[in-house]
Chains A and B, each alone.
Chain A
Amino acid sequence: EAGVTQFPSHSVIEKGQTVTLRCDPISGHDNLYWYRRVMGKEIKFLLHFVKESKQDESGMPNNRFLAERTGGTYSTLKVQPAELEDSGVYFCASSRTGKDTQYFGPGTRLTVL
């Protein structure tokens, strides 16, 4: 089975611009998570979807971040407008309900200049 995929792998944007990250979870995984790792620090939770519903969005930094998962399949994370501190690697993970393991994608490295 195909793993979690993320697009793009890298994105370099100017401060104030908008960027949209996409995540395709493993087929059949109802749970989808977004995480972020900033500059060698810990991987931090952003939010959790169960199908198309937001189960937990306590980690979203502010209202410049908008996540969607229309139809309960792929998810997008939009940052608008981007700030310098948004730079980092954004990971998406998915899991099957009833299972502990979260499967991670390769990440999107976002650089805001």
Chain B
Amino acid sequence: QQQVKQSPQSLIVQKGGISIINCAYENTAFDYFPWYQQFPGKGPALLIAIRPDVSEKKEGRFTISFNKSAKQFSLHIMDSQPGDSATYFCAARVGNFNKFYFGSGTKLNVKP
């Protein structure tokens, strides 16, 4: 049973548009929610992360919105650029130093 459900599977956005990727979870014990970005041939790299005591976190053009009551969180990429074209994974973790539960990934294609 998949612990973190991610949608959409793929996304096409025009340059300058907003990309939105959604994730949902059931386990209320999750206490850390990172987003990873993966370019072809590379490993996933941490993009931005949030803890459940905060409803939003922004770093540059990237924002995580977190809805604890709905058990959902999303990644918003403002002013999307062709260089943002990559696969994005949401993840969740229970406790420090423990394993991550990943979503199935979203392949983002930003058209010039």
Contact = CB atoms under 8 A, between A and B. Distances in A.
Contacts of B46: 101-103
A40 B104 contact: yes
Interface residues of A, number: 28
A43 B103 CA distance: 7
A91 B43 contact: yes
B43 A33 contact: no
A95 interface: yes
Interface in A42-99: 42-45, 48, 50, 55-56, 59, 91, 93, 95, 97-98
Nearest to A101: B46
B20 interface: no
A44 B91 CA distance: 11
B43 A104 contact: yes
B97 A97 contact: yes
B41 A42 contact: no
B91 to A, nearest CB: 8
Interface of A: 4, 31, 33, 35, 40-45, 48, 50, 55-56, 59, 91, 93, 95, 97-98, 100-107
